[in-house]
Amino acid sequence: MTKTLKGIAASDGIAIAKAYLLVQPDLSFSKSVIDDVTKETDRLQSAIDKSHDELQQIRDSAAKSLGEEEAQVFDAHMMILADPEFTGAVKTKIADEKVNAEAALDEVSTTFIGMFEAMTDNPYMQERAADIRDVTKRMMAHLLGVELPNPALIHEEVIIVAHDLTPSDTAQLNKKYVKAFVTDIGGRTAHSAIMARTLEIPAIVGAESVTTDITAGQEVIVDGNNGDIVIEPSAEEVTEYQEAAKAYATQKAEWQKLKNSATETANGVHFELAANIGTPKDLQGVLDNGAEAVGLYRTEFLYMDSAELPSEDDQFEAYKAVLEGMNGKPVVVRTMDIGGDKHLPYLPLPEEMNPFLGYRAIRISLDRQDIFRTQLRALLRASAFGRLRIMFPMIATLQEFRQAKGVLEEEKAKLVADGVKVGDIEVGIMIEIPAAAVLADQFAKEVDFFSIGTNDLIQYTMAADRGNEHVSYLYQPYNPSILRLVKHVIDSAHAEGKWAGMCGEAAGDPIMVPMLVGLGLDEFSMSATSILKVRSLMKNLNTEDMKQLAEKAINVSLTNDDNIKLVKENVKY
C-alpha cells in the first residue's frame, strides 16, 4: 500500500529507486561467563577475519570512487585488526577472565580509546581513538551477527534513508548510485542539505519517521522540489512522477541556454551571480552553470577530507587550482569554519552544550594561530594565480576582524620579505552574527566587502537551530526583521563605497531574489545548480519595481508569509 510522507524539500529533482537504510544497528550485548575459551577465541577470530575481508572490499571500492588517499583510512583500520597489542589483549582477557568476546572487546577498546584520547598534545594519536572506535564497531557487529551499513559498497541505484547524515557521510555518497536521500532530522540549511544541492541529487530532510516507515529494498519516490516521499508507489504514481521528472529536465535544459549570457534584469541592470563550493572538485559544476565568480569557498571541507591537518603546500595547491580554474574571475575563499556541525576527527573539540554558539570558525583560528597562519600563508602564496578575496567567518566584533587582518598582514610581510609574489587581495567578512549586522556601518569603514550568511544570521536572529526540524518554521528569510538587517548591511557597505554580497542559501531562493534585487545586493552566491534558474528569473525583474516591492516588504508587511504573498503577487516566474 502506498504511503506518503512529507519533509523539508532540501535539494531539487525527482528520483525513483529502492531504499537503502543507512541506520546504525543495535550493538548492545550482555556480559557473560564462558567455559570454552577455545570456542570463544574462535568466535573472535572469525569476527576479525570477516571484518578484514569487508574492510579490504571497502578499501578497494573507496580507492576507485574517492581516490587512493581517501582509501588509506581503511588501511589504518586493517592495521588495528592485525595489531597483537589490541586483538591480542582481547584474547588474553577472554582466557584470563573467562568472559565472552563481546565483553572482552568492549573493555579492551574502551581502555585503548581512553588512552589515545588523553594524548591531547598529540593530535595524530588522538585520531587513532576514532579508528579504534570504528574497528570495534565492525568487529562487534560480526560477533553479534548484525549487518553494518556500508555505503561505500553500494553498486546499484538507491535512495539513502538515514536518521541524519553528517557532512562527511554526504561527501562519501557516490552520485552514480545514490539517486537521492531522505532523513528523519535536519533543516534546509544543514550542511548535508547544502552538499546535496552541490552534488545535484534530490534530498528531503526533517521527514521525522523515514527510518521507521521505510524498510530496506522498498521502492520510494523522492520529490525534492516539494518535499514529498512516496513509499511503494502505484504504477500510476510512478508514471506521474516520471513525467514530472521529465518536465523538470526540460525546464533545466531551457535554463542551460543562459549559461553564457550576462545576468541582467529587464531594465538592463547587471548583478553578479556567484557559486558556493566546498572543494576544487566542485569547479566543474561552477563552470557548467555559467557562474561569474566563486562567492564562497568553504575551506573546512579541505580539513574534513584529510586524515590530518592539511599542510601549507596541500592547501596552496587547492587554492591555486580554484583560482586558476576561474581564470581571472573573483574567488572568495573563507577561512576555516570548523565547529557547529562540522568536526575534524584529528582536532577534538571540547564537548559543548551549544556547539553553534561555541568554539567555532574565527574563534578557533584566533586561538589556534598555528593552524590559521598556515592557511593564510597558503592563501597569500596562491593569490598570485588569480583574483583572490579572503573572508573571515563568524565575526562578532571589530576586534576579531582587526586581529584576524593583523595576522594576515604579518604573514604577508614575512612572505614578501622572502621574495614571494603576493597578489592584490580584498579582505572581507561574513555577516552572520546579528551583532556584526547591527554594527555594519562601523565594519564597512574597515573591510573591503561583506557577504551575508543568512543560514547562520537567521538561526541567530530567530534563536532557532538551523538543523532542528522542530523549529524549522522559524527559518524565515523573508521576515521583515531579517530583511531590515540585510538592508542595513547593504546600505552600510554602499555608504563606504564597498560591495555587499550574500552567500547564505537565501541568495538563490526565488522568493528572496526579487527583494534582494530591490535592496541593491551586489553579489548573489549560491549552489552552482541554482545559478541558471536565478539568471532566468532576473530577466523578468525591473529594479525600480523591485525597490518598491522591497520597501513594502520591510515597512508594510508584518510576517514572513505576508512577504511570500507579496512577491508571488508581483513577480512573474
Ligand X SMILES: C=C(OP(=O)(O)O)C(=O)O
Instruction: State the residues that interact with ligand X by CB under 6 A.
Output: 296, 298, 337, 432, 453-456, 503-504
User: Hey, which residues between 343 and 402 contact Mg ion (CB under 5 A)?
Assistant: none
Q: Catalytic one among 191, 470, 488, 494?
A: 191
Least separation in angstroms between residue 470's CB and ligand X is 20
Per CB under 5 A, 505 contacts Mg ion: no
Residue 387 touches which of Mg ion, ligand X, none (Cβ within 5-8 Å per kind)? none
503 touches, from ligand X, Mg ion, none (C-beta below 5 to 8 Å by class): ligand X
Site string for Mg ion, 420-459 (x = CB under 5 A): ------------x--------------------x--x---
Smallest distance from ligand X to CB 507, Å: 9
Give the residue with the Cβ less far from ligand X, 177 or 359: 359
**CB closer to Mg ion out of 185 and 457:** 457
Consult the annotation and say whether 368 binds a ligand: no
* Nearest CB to ligand X, comparing residues 220 and 516: 516
Note if 503 is an active site residue. yes
Order of all β-strands in the sheet with 228-231: 3-6, 228-231, 219-223, 14-22, 158-162, 178-183, 203-205, 8-11
Least distance between Mg ion and beta carbon 465 (Å): 13
Instruction: Report the distance separating Cα 395 and Cα 106, nearest Å.
Output: 43
DSSP H or E run through 17:
strand 14-22
Is 494 designated active site? Answer: no
Q: Which three cell numbers stand for residue 308?
A: 590530518
Q: From residue 299, how far is each of 140, 345, 393, 448, 546 by CA, in Å? A: 35, 16, 11, 20, 34
Report what 106 binds from ligand X, Mg ion, none; CB cut-off 5-8 Å by kind. none
Q: Which is nearer to ligand X, 40 or 505 (CB)?
A: 505
| Closest residue to Mg ion in the complex (CB) | 456
Which of residues 453 and 480 has its CB atom nearest to ligand X in the complex? 453
Measured on CA atoms in the order 163, 165, 169, 173, is the torsion positive or negative? positive
Catalytic-role residue among 77, 142, 343, 503: 503
Task: Give me the amino acid identity at 327.
Answer: N
Is residue 465 at the binding interface for Mg ion, with CB under 5 A as the rule? no
Cell of 454: 543568512
- Who's near 527: CB < 8 A, 6+ residues apart? 194, 197, 198, 275, 276, 505, 508
Cβ of residue 308: shortest distance to ligand X, in angstroms? 22
CB of 439 to ligand X, least distance (A): 18
Rounded least distance, CB 480 to Mg ion, Å:
22
Cα distance between residue 135 and residue 86, in whole Å: 11
The option from ligand X, Mg ion, none interacting with 380 (CB < 5 to 8 A, set by class) reads: none
**Of these partners, Mg ion, ligand X, none, which one is at the site of residue 102 (CB under 5 to 8 Å by kind)?**
none
**What residue 179 binds from Mg ion, ligand X, none (CB within 5 to 8 A, per partner kind)?**
none
- For 362-396, b/e burial (b = at least 16 CB within 10 A) is bbbbeebeebbbbbbbbbbbbbebbbbbbbbbbbb
Q: Is 259 buried (19+), middle (13-18) or exposed (0-12) by CB count in 10 A?
A: middle
Q: If residue 570 lies in a helix (H) or strand (E), which one and from where to where?
A: helix 560-570
Question: 224 and 12 in contact (C-beta within 8 Å)?
Answer: yes
Binding residues for Mg ion, per CB under 5 A?
A: 432, 453, 456
Active-site residues, by number, are 191, 503
